[in-house]
Amino acid sequence: MQMESPIIRRLTRKIFVGNVAVGGDAPISVQSMTNTDTCDVEATVSQIKRLETACADIVRVSVPTMEAAEAFKSIREQVDVPLVADIHFDYKIALKVAEFGVDCLRINPGNIGNSKKIKAVVETARDKDIPIRIGVNAGSLEKDLQRKYGEPTPEALVESAMRHIDILDKLDFQNFKLSVKASNVFMAVAAYRMISAQIEQPLHLGITEAGGIRGGTVKSSVGLGMLLMDGIGDTIRISLAADPVEEVKVGYEILKSLRLRSKGINFIACPSCSRQNFDVVKTMNELENRVEDITTPLDVAVIGCIVNGPGEAKEADIGLTGGTPKHLIYVDGEKDHKVEKDGLVDHLEIMIRKKVAEKQLADSQIIAKQ
Protein backbone atom coordinates (compact mmCIF):
# COMPACT_ATOMS: atom_id res chain seq x y z
CA MET A 1 0.00 0.00 0.00
CA GLN A 2 2.77 2.36 -0.99
CA MET A 3 1.69 6.02 -1.18
CA GLU A 4 3.05 8.42 -3.77
CA SER A 5 5.53 10.99 -2.52
CA PRO A 6 4.22 14.59 -2.62
CA ILE A 7 7.75 15.85 -3.36
CA ILE A 8 8.32 17.45 -6.77
CA ARG A 9 11.95 16.93 -7.71
CA ARG A 10 14.04 19.62 -9.34
CA LEU A 11 14.62 18.68 -12.98
CA THR A 12 18.30 18.20 -13.75
CA ARG A 13 20.38 16.97 -16.66
CA LYS A 14 20.61 13.18 -16.76
CA ILE A 15 24.05 11.57 -16.76
CA PHE A 16 25.14 7.95 -16.48
CA VAL A 17 27.57 6.43 -14.01
CA GLY A 18 28.08 3.09 -15.67
CA ASN A 19 24.56 1.77 -16.21
CA VAL A 20 23.08 3.87 -13.39
CA ALA A 21 21.21 7.00 -14.46
CA VAL A 22 21.70 10.03 -12.21
CA GLY A 23 19.46 13.08 -12.55
CA GLY A 24 16.47 13.75 -14.77
CA ASP A 25 13.64 11.36 -13.96
CA ALA A 26 15.96 8.62 -12.65
CA PRO A 27 15.46 7.28 -9.11
CA ILE A 28 17.68 8.90 -6.50
CA SER A 29 20.69 6.59 -6.30
CA VAL A 30 22.37 5.47 -3.08
CA GLN A 31 26.15 5.46 -2.88
CA SER A 32 28.84 4.44 -0.44
CA MET A 33 32.63 4.38 -0.34
CA THR A 34 35.08 1.65 0.55
CA ASN A 35 37.24 2.13 3.65
CA THR A 36 39.70 -0.66 2.91
CA ASP A 37 43.24 -0.17 1.63
CA THR A 38 42.65 -0.10 -2.14
CA CYS A 39 45.92 -1.94 -2.69
CA ASP A 40 44.44 -4.83 -0.69
CA VAL A 41 42.42 -6.07 -3.64
CA GLU A 42 40.86 -9.02 -1.86
CA ALA A 43 39.56 -6.94 1.06
CA THR A 44 38.29 -4.18 -1.23
CA VAL A 45 36.50 -6.58 -3.57
CA SER A 46 34.94 -8.33 -0.59
CA GLN A 47 33.63 -5.05 0.80
CA ILE A 48 32.27 -3.94 -2.57
CA LYS A 49 30.40 -7.21 -2.97
CA ARG A 50 28.85 -6.72 0.46
CA LEU A 51 27.77 -3.25 -0.67
CA GLU A 52 26.30 -4.74 -3.85
CA THR A 53 24.31 -7.19 -1.74
CA ALA A 54 23.02 -4.24 0.29
CA CYS A 55 21.85 -2.71 -3.04
CA ALA A 56 24.38 0.12 -3.29
CA ASP A 57 23.87 1.67 -6.72
CA ILE A 58 27.36 3.18 -6.96
CA VAL A 59 30.56 2.63 -4.97
CA ARG A 60 33.46 5.08 -4.66
CA VAL A 61 37.02 3.82 -4.26
CA SER A 62 39.95 5.99 -3.19
CA VAL A 63 42.84 5.89 -5.67
CA PRO A 64 45.65 7.98 -4.16
CA THR A 65 48.65 6.41 -5.95
CA MET A 66 49.64 4.67 -9.16
CA GLU A 67 49.95 1.46 -7.16
CA ALA A 68 46.32 1.91 -6.11
CA ALA A 69 45.40 2.55 -9.76
CA GLU A 70 46.89 -0.81 -10.74
CA ALA A 71 44.94 -2.44 -7.91
CA PHE A 72 41.81 -0.69 -9.18
CA LYS A 73 42.16 -2.52 -12.48
CA SER A 74 41.91 -5.86 -10.72
CA ILE A 75 39.03 -4.63 -8.54
CA ARG A 76 37.11 -3.40 -11.59
CA GLU A 77 37.39 -6.84 -13.19
CA GLN A 78 35.86 -8.60 -10.18
CA VAL A 79 32.76 -6.51 -9.40
CA ASP A 80 29.69 -5.40 -11.34
CA VAL A 81 28.55 -2.26 -9.53
CA PRO A 82 29.57 1.09 -11.10
CA LEU A 83 32.79 2.41 -9.55
CA VAL A 84 33.87 5.99 -8.94
CA ALA A 85 37.59 6.65 -8.54
CA ASP A 86 38.35 9.24 -5.86
CA ILE A 87 41.43 11.16 -7.03
CA HIS A 88 43.15 14.26 -5.77
CA PHE A 89 45.77 16.36 -7.57
CA ASP A 90 47.47 13.75 -9.84
CA TYR A 91 45.94 13.85 -13.30
CA LYS A 92 47.98 10.82 -14.42
CA ILE A 93 46.04 8.62 -11.99
CA ALA A 94 42.81 9.81 -13.58
CA LEU A 95 44.09 8.90 -17.03
CA LYS A 96 45.19 5.49 -15.81
CA VAL A 97 41.90 4.47 -14.18
CA ALA A 98 40.06 5.72 -17.27
CA GLU A 99 41.97 3.03 -19.18
CA PHE A 100 40.87 0.45 -16.62
CA GLY A 101 37.13 1.06 -17.00
CA VAL A 102 36.24 3.52 -14.25
CA ASP A 103 32.63 4.69 -14.39
CA CYS A 104 33.13 8.17 -12.92
CA LEU A 105 36.04 10.39 -11.90
CA ARG A 106 35.79 12.26 -8.62
CA ILE A 107 38.40 14.90 -9.35
CA ASN A 108 38.25 18.67 -9.04
CA PRO A 109 39.51 20.24 -12.30
CA GLY A 110 41.07 23.24 -10.56
CA ASN A 111 43.27 21.06 -8.36
CA ILE A 112 45.08 18.95 -10.94
CA GLY A 113 47.55 21.43 -12.38
CA ASN A 114 47.90 23.49 -15.53
CA SER A 115 45.43 23.76 -18.40
CA LYS A 116 47.21 21.06 -20.41
CA LYS A 117 46.72 18.50 -17.63
CA ILE A 118 43.10 19.51 -17.11
CA LYS A 119 42.38 19.24 -20.81
CA ALA A 120 43.97 15.79 -20.98
CA VAL A 121 41.63 14.48 -18.27
CA VAL A 122 38.55 16.15 -19.72
CA GLU A 123 39.22 14.93 -23.25
CA THR A 124 39.76 11.38 -22.00
CA ALA A 125 36.51 11.59 -20.03
CA ARG A 126 34.73 12.89 -23.13
CA ASP A 127 36.14 10.17 -25.41
CA LYS A 128 35.22 7.39 -22.99
CA ASP A 129 31.91 8.95 -21.89
CA ILE A 130 33.03 9.08 -18.26
CA PRO A 131 31.30 11.68 -16.06
CA ILE A 132 33.21 13.78 -13.55
CA ARG A 133 32.09 14.55 -10.02
CA ILE A 134 33.19 17.90 -8.67
CA GLY A 135 33.40 17.52 -4.91
CA VAL A 136 33.69 20.70 -2.85
CA ASN A 137 34.24 20.23 0.88
CA ALA A 138 34.19 22.83 3.65
CA GLY A 139 37.29 21.23 5.14
CA SER A 140 39.44 21.70 2.05
CA LEU A 141 38.54 25.07 0.57
CA GLU A 142 41.14 26.95 -1.44
CA LYS A 143 43.43 29.11 0.68
CA ASP A 144 42.39 32.35 -1.00
CA LEU A 145 38.73 31.59 -0.26
CA GLN A 146 39.62 30.85 3.35
CA ARG A 147 41.26 34.27 3.55
CA LYS A 148 38.39 35.97 1.74
CA TYR A 149 35.61 34.55 3.91
CA GLY A 150 37.59 33.98 7.10
CA GLU A 151 35.89 30.64 7.63
CA PRO A 152 33.90 28.12 5.60
CA THR A 153 30.53 29.55 4.54
CA PRO A 154 27.85 28.51 2.05
CA GLU A 155 28.99 31.34 -0.22
CA ALA A 156 32.58 30.09 -0.09
CA LEU A 157 31.49 26.56 -1.01
CA VAL A 158 29.47 27.83 -3.96
CA GLU A 159 32.26 30.13 -5.18
CA SER A 160 34.69 27.22 -5.08
CA ALA A 161 32.24 25.03 -6.98
CA MET A 162 31.69 27.66 -9.66
CA ARG A 163 35.45 27.92 -10.25
CA HIS A 164 35.62 24.23 -11.13
CA ILE A 165 32.44 24.43 -13.19
CA ASP A 166 33.81 27.37 -15.18
CA ILE A 167 36.82 25.26 -16.15
CA LEU A 168 34.57 22.52 -17.52
CA ASP A 169 32.33 25.09 -19.23
CA LYS A 170 35.30 26.52 -21.11
CA LEU A 171 36.12 23.02 -22.33
CA ASP A 172 32.45 22.49 -23.29
CA PHE A 173 32.14 19.53 -20.92
CA GLN A 174 28.73 19.19 -19.27
CA ASN A 175 28.85 15.54 -18.24
CA PHE A 176 29.36 16.16 -14.55
CA LYS A 177 27.64 16.14 -11.17
CA LEU A 178 28.45 18.23 -8.12
CA SER A 179 28.57 18.11 -4.34
CA VAL A 180 29.09 20.96 -1.85
CA LYS A 181 29.50 19.15 1.44
CA ALA A 182 30.02 20.33 5.00
CA SER A 183 29.74 18.65 8.38
CA ASN A 184 27.62 21.61 9.51
CA VAL A 185 24.04 20.81 8.50
CA PHE A 186 22.95 24.43 8.03
CA MET A 187 26.00 25.27 5.92
CA ALA A 188 25.57 22.27 3.66
CA VAL A 189 21.85 22.85 3.18
CA ALA A 190 22.34 26.53 2.37
CA ALA A 191 25.14 25.77 -0.11
CA TYR A 192 23.09 23.12 -1.93
CA ARG A 193 20.10 25.44 -2.15
CA MET A 194 22.26 28.20 -3.59
CA ILE A 195 24.03 26.06 -6.18
CA SER A 196 20.83 24.28 -7.25
CA ALA A 197 19.52 27.59 -8.53
CA GLN A 198 22.62 28.16 -10.65
CA ILE A 199 23.32 24.91 -12.51
CA GLU A 200 21.36 22.20 -14.31
CA GLN A 201 23.69 19.31 -13.49
CA PRO A 202 22.69 16.64 -10.96
CA LEU A 203 23.62 17.12 -7.32
CA HIS A 204 25.26 14.52 -5.10
CA LEU A 205 24.02 15.09 -1.54
CA GLY A 206 25.86 14.41 1.68
CA ILE A 207 26.63 15.77 5.13
CA THR A 208 30.33 15.05 5.23
CA GLU A 209 32.06 13.59 8.30
CA ALA A 210 28.63 13.27 9.90
CA GLY A 211 29.85 11.06 12.76
CA GLY A 212 29.07 7.58 14.09
CA ILE A 213 25.98 5.52 13.36
CA ARG A 214 23.60 7.32 15.72
CA GLY A 215 24.82 10.91 15.42
CA GLY A 216 25.69 10.62 11.74
CA THR A 217 22.34 9.11 10.89
CA VAL A 218 20.50 11.92 12.65
CA LYS A 219 22.57 14.70 11.06
CA SER A 220 22.29 13.15 7.60
CA SER A 221 18.57 12.56 7.97
CA VAL A 222 17.94 16.15 9.02
CA GLY A 223 20.17 17.73 6.38
CA LEU A 224 19.29 15.52 3.45
CA GLY A 225 15.65 15.46 4.48
CA MET A 226 15.48 19.26 4.24
CA LEU A 227 17.02 19.21 0.77
CA LEU A 228 15.05 16.27 -0.55
CA MET A 229 11.82 17.90 0.62
CA ASP A 230 12.84 20.89 -1.52
CA GLY A 231 13.18 18.53 -4.49
CA ILE A 232 16.97 18.91 -4.44
CA GLY A 233 19.20 15.88 -4.86
CA ASP A 234 19.82 13.16 -7.44
CA THR A 235 22.18 10.82 -5.63
CA ILE A 236 23.14 10.51 -1.95
CA ARG A 237 25.89 9.21 0.30
CA ILE A 238 25.56 8.94 4.08
CA SER A 239 29.01 9.57 5.57
CA LEU A 240 29.29 7.46 8.71
CA ALA A 241 32.26 6.39 10.80
CA ALA A 242 30.96 2.84 10.49
CA ASP A 243 30.71 -0.15 8.17
CA PRO A 244 29.90 1.28 4.70
CA VAL A 245 26.98 -1.15 4.45
CA GLU A 246 25.32 0.88 7.21
CA GLU A 247 25.57 3.96 4.97
CA VAL A 248 23.55 2.20 2.29
CA LYS A 249 20.93 1.01 4.78
CA VAL A 250 20.48 4.51 6.21
CA GLY A 251 20.35 6.03 2.73
CA TYR A 252 17.51 3.78 1.70
CA GLU A 253 15.66 4.41 4.97
CA ILE A 254 15.81 8.16 4.36
CA LEU A 255 14.46 7.80 0.82
CA LYS A 256 11.85 5.31 2.00
CA SER A 257 10.60 7.67 4.70
CA LEU A 258 10.00 10.37 2.08
CA ARG A 259 8.44 7.89 -0.36
CA LEU A 260 11.12 8.79 -2.87
CA ARG A 261 12.32 5.24 -3.25
CA SER A 262 11.24 1.97 -1.73
CA LYS A 263 13.48 -0.97 -0.98
CA GLY A 264 12.61 -3.70 1.45
CA ILE A 265 10.24 -3.68 4.37
CA ASN A 266 8.80 -0.41 5.64
CA PHE A 267 8.03 -1.21 9.25
CA ILE A 268 5.43 0.73 11.21
CA ALA A 269 6.07 -0.25 14.82
CA CYS A 270 5.00 1.29 18.13
CA PRO A 271 7.66 2.26 20.70
CA SER A 272 5.91 -0.09 23.17
CA CYS A 273 4.23 0.81 26.46
CA SER A 274 2.43 -0.91 29.33
CA ARG A 275 -0.55 -1.58 27.03
CA GLN A 276 1.46 -3.94 24.84
CA ASN A 277 0.24 -7.52 24.66
CA PHE A 278 3.53 -8.90 23.35
CA ASP A 279 7.18 -7.77 23.49
CA VAL A 280 7.20 -5.32 20.57
CA VAL A 281 10.89 -4.39 20.83
CA LYS A 282 12.09 -7.99 20.91
CA THR A 283 9.74 -8.95 18.09
CA MET A 284 10.89 -6.07 15.89
CA ASN A 285 14.59 -6.66 16.49
CA GLU A 286 14.32 -10.31 15.53
CA LEU A 287 11.99 -9.71 12.60
CA GLU A 288 14.13 -6.96 11.08
CA ASN A 289 17.20 -9.19 11.20
CA ARG A 290 15.36 -12.08 9.57
CA VAL A 291 13.95 -10.14 6.60
CA GLU A 292 16.95 -7.90 5.96
CA ASP A 293 17.58 -9.71 2.67
CA ILE A 294 14.22 -8.68 1.20
CA THR A 295 14.33 -5.82 -1.31
CA THR A 296 10.71 -5.87 -2.51
CA PRO A 297 8.77 -2.91 -1.05
CA LEU A 298 6.24 -3.91 1.59
CA ASP A 299 4.49 -2.11 4.46
CA VAL A 300 4.34 -4.12 7.69
CA ALA A 301 2.72 -2.78 10.87
CA VAL A 302 3.66 -4.25 14.24
CA ILE A 303 1.56 -2.63 16.99
CA GLY A 304 1.35 -3.93 20.55
CA CYS A 305 -2.25 -3.10 21.45
CA ILE A 306 -5.72 -2.34 20.10
CA VAL A 307 -5.54 1.45 20.57
CA ASN A 308 -3.55 2.30 17.42
CA GLY A 309 -3.17 -1.22 16.07
CA PRO A 310 -6.26 -1.56 13.87
CA GLY A 311 -5.80 1.85 12.24
CA GLU A 312 -2.16 1.19 11.33
CA ALA A 313 -2.82 -2.41 10.32
CA LYS A 314 -5.52 -1.36 7.87
CA GLU A 315 -3.01 0.84 6.01
CA ALA A 316 -0.34 -1.88 5.72
CA ASP A 317 0.15 -4.87 3.46
CA ILE A 318 0.47 -6.99 6.61
CA GLY A 319 -0.53 -5.76 10.05
CA LEU A 320 -0.25 -7.20 13.54
CA THR A 321 -2.36 -5.86 16.39
CA GLY A 322 -1.72 -7.09 19.91
CA GLY A 323 -4.78 -8.54 21.63
CA THR A 324 -5.89 -10.85 24.45
CA PRO A 325 -5.65 -13.79 24.45
CA LYS A 326 -4.67 -13.87 20.76
CA HIS A 327 -3.25 -11.28 18.36
CA LEU A 328 -5.06 -10.17 15.22
CA ILE A 329 -3.45 -10.29 11.77
CA TYR A 330 -4.59 -8.01 8.94
CA VAL A 331 -3.78 -8.65 5.27
CA ASP A 332 -4.25 -5.88 2.71
CA GLY A 333 -6.23 -3.87 5.25
CA GLU A 334 -8.68 -6.63 6.14
CA LYS A 335 -8.93 -8.78 9.26
CA ASP A 336 -7.55 -12.17 8.30
CA HIS A 337 -6.86 -14.44 11.29
CA LYS A 338 -5.66 -14.61 14.87
CA VAL A 339 -2.34 -15.95 16.13
CA GLU A 340 -0.83 -17.07 19.43
CA LYS A 341 2.13 -15.28 21.02
CA ASP A 342 4.35 -18.34 20.69
CA GLY A 343 5.99 -18.50 17.30
CA LEU A 344 4.87 -14.95 16.45
CA VAL A 345 8.07 -13.97 14.65
CA ASP A 346 8.13 -17.21 12.67
CA HIS A 347 4.53 -16.64 11.63
CA LEU A 348 5.17 -13.04 10.53
CA GLU A 349 8.26 -13.99 8.54
CA ILE A 350 6.35 -16.68 6.66
CA MET A 351 3.56 -14.21 5.87
CA ILE A 352 5.99 -11.53 4.73
CA ARG A 353 7.88 -13.86 2.42
CA LYS A 354 4.60 -15.18 0.99
CA LYS A 355 3.38 -11.64 0.30
CA VAL A 356 6.73 -10.74 -1.29
CA ALA A 357 6.50 -13.78 -3.58
CA GLU A 358 2.97 -12.75 -4.59
CA LYS A 359 4.13 -9.21 -5.40
CA GLN A 360 7.09 -10.47 -7.41
CA LEU A 361 4.84 -12.80 -9.42
CA ALA A 362 2.37 -9.98 -10.09
CA ASP A 363 5.17 -7.65 -11.19
CA SER A 364 6.64 -10.30 -13.52
CA GLN A 365 3.23 -10.85 -15.12
CA ILE A 366 2.84 -7.12 -15.73
CA ILE A 367 6.27 -6.98 -17.34
CA ALA A 368 5.48 -10.02 -19.49
CA LYS A 369 2.37 -8.29 -20.86
CA GLN A 370 4.24 -5.13 -21.82
Contact between 59 and 81 under an 8 Å Cβ cutoff? The reply is: yes
Q: Residue 124: phi, psi to the nearest 5?
A: -65, -45
Spans of all domains in the chain: 15-257, 265-369
**In the prediction, which pLDDT does 159 show?**
97
Computed over every residue of the chain, the mean pLDDT equals 94
Confidence of residue 2 (pLDDT cuts 50, 70, 90): low
Residue 12 has pLDDT above 70, yes or no: yes
Confidence of residue 362 (pLDDT cuts 50, 70, 90): confident
Mean pLDDT of all residues in 69-84: 98
Domain 265-369 classified CATH 3.30.413.10? Answer: yes
Give 118-163 pLDDT, tens digit per residue: 999 999 999 999 999 999 999 989 999 999 999 999 999 999 999 9
How is domain 15-257 classified at the CATH fold level? TIM Barrel (3.20.20)
Confidence of residue 111 (pLDDT cuts 50, 70, 90): confident
Confidence of residue 351 (pLDDT cuts 50, 70, 90): very high
Q: Residue 45: phi, psi to the nearest 5?
A: -60, -45
Confidence of residue 51 (pLDDT cuts 50, 70, 90): very high
Confidence of residue 306 (pLDDT cuts 50, 70, 90): confident
Mean pLDDT of all residues in 228-240: 97
**In the prediction, which pLDDT does 176 show?**
98
- pTM > 0.85: yes or no: yes
